[in-house]
Amino acid sequence: MTEFVQLEVDGSVATIRINRAPVNALNEQVQEELREAATACTRRDDIRVVILWGGEKVFVAGADVKEFHTMSAQDMQRRAADLSSALDAVAHIPKPVIAAVTGYALGGGCELALTADFRISADNAKWGQPEILLGVIPGAGGTQRLPRLIGPAKAKDLIYTGRFVAADEALELGLVDAVVGADEVYPTARAMATKFAAGPALALRAAKAAIDGGLDTDLGSGLKLESHLFAGLFATEDKQRGMASFIEQGPGKAQFVGN
Per-residue b or e along 219-236, where b marks 16 or more CB atoms closer than 10 Å to that residue's CB? eeebeebbeebeeebeeb
> Cα–Cα distance between 84 and 196 in angstroms, integer?
28
Nearest to 199 by CA among 249, 156, 233: 233
Catalytic residue status for 36 = no
- The single residue of 3, 32, 111, 226 carrying the catalytic annotation is 111
DSSP one-letter string for 90-102: HHT-SS-EEEEE-
Nearest to 93 by CA among 33, 35, 168: 35
Q: Are 235 and 202 in contact (CB under 8 A)?
A: no
- The single residue of 56, 131, 169, 226 carrying the catalytic annotation is 131
> Cα–Cα distance between 151 and 149 in angstroms, integer?
6
> Cα–Cα distance between 136 and 93 in angstroms, integer?
28
Catalytic residue status for 32 = no
Question: Could you list the active site residues?
Answer: 111, 131
